[in-house]
Structure 1
Amino acid sequence: MNDKVSVGAIAGSYGVRGELRVKSYCAVPEDIETYSPLTSEDGKRSFAIALVRPIKNGFVARITDVTSKEEADALRGTVLFARRDQLPSLPDDEFYHADLIGLEVFDTGGTLIGKVKTVQNHGADDLLETQLAGTSATVFLPFTKAAVPTVDLATGRIIADPPDGILPDAKAD
């Protein structure tokens, strides 16, 4: 498992004094501040985030040493990571998205379906974008207890019971 988890991203500058627009990926959006200092994906940059106020789709935030609009704009698109040990432990039936990516997905008969490529959420439940074994094609599995009854992080396996019509039909002999 990764020792870092993505908790947000810098969306650009806010105003002319170096404030930033920050998106939070946390269940409680304000918690992003409590995981500070955050790092860039490569870990080479560290950011002490201080939230100033909420705005639509995020927060206005300050970062030490960022004092101009240009410096804030240069950080646009930076994904913010927290160390796993900073984050709260989760109940048995909840998972960090980062832990699901790369897991092999098997059907209830033990046949390999593919690997989790991404975890998407477009307003309803999470969807596991799964790259089908032996192809470049992907399918979206609903990440519900009915469709994904077992997630075993220790063995790196997911057991799925996809709803009819999700997987492409096997070719008839």
Structure 2
Amino acid sequence: MKTPICVARIGAAHGVRGAVKLWTFTEDPLAVRHYGPLMTKDGARQFEVTHVREAKDHLVATLKGITTREDAERLNGLELYIARDKLPETDEDEYYHADLIGLAAVNAAGERLGRVIAIHNFGAGDIIEIAPDKGATILLPFTNAVVPTVDLASSRVVIELPQEIEGDDAPTLT
């Protein structure tokens, strides 16, 4: 498997017959049914989703061969992957997080700022995290204004650093 993509994480056991809570990282949570076997990152173990239903903020899934609560409990926290080529192609200006991780981050003049280490979303939009060669990581909005260019062929993103970041000024004490 070339580049495995994490599509889900198994949570706690659900019930006594081997079902598990399943958090998916796909646009359509139920898509995990259609990817075929889901694997551990190293490919050593495979899991076939035999039944899945929606719950409040996750799915409840039954995995082939997992029949007891004890079996399910041993899987808690396990991340599940598929081969990158099993995912649909992205639209223009749409990217899989895994395609961005590790790209060089440069400014408009081509000067290195660091590399992309994560994409986060805490509910208000995507955030790109850049690790400079020295110093603390930088969190920036993943918008066209701040990241005008994503060049996967050249393995880089162009970052337009905002002129002012809210909160930079120290408060005045009186």
TM-score (norm 1): 0.90
Q: Give the alignment of 1:56-135 within 5 angstroms.
A: 56-133=56-133, 135=134
Is residue 51–residue 59 contact of structure 1 (8 Å, CA) maintained in 2? no
Moved over 4 A (4+): none
| Displacement after TM superposition at 1:84 (Å) | 1.3
Distance verdict in 2 for CA 1:136–1:35, change over 3 Å: farther
Is residue 107–residue 160 contact of structure 2 (8 Å, CA) maintained in 1? yes
| Displacement after TM superposition at 1:164 (Å) | 2.4
Structure 1 position 158 matched with structure 2 position 139: no
Q: Give the alignment of 1:22-61 within 5 angstroms.
A: 22-61=22-61
| Displacement after TM superposition at 1:57 (Å) | 1.5
| Displacement after TM superposition at 1:75 (Å) | 0.5
Measured in 2, the distance between the counterparts of 1:88 and 1:157 equals: 22
| Displacement after TM superposition at 1:136 (Å) | 4.2
Q: Among the aligned pairs, what percent are the same residue? A: 39
Is residue 21–residue 59 contact of structure 2 (8 Å, CA) maintained in 1? yes
Unaligned runs of 5+ in 2: 169-174
TM-score (norm 2): 0.90
Could you give the per-residue CA deviations for residues 82-140 of structure 1, whole angstroms, max 9, x where no partner exists? 1112110011211110111111100112111111111111012111111112x141011
Residue 172 of structure 2: aligned partner: none
1:35 aligned counterpart, secondary structure: coil
1:32 aligned counterpart, secondary structure: helix
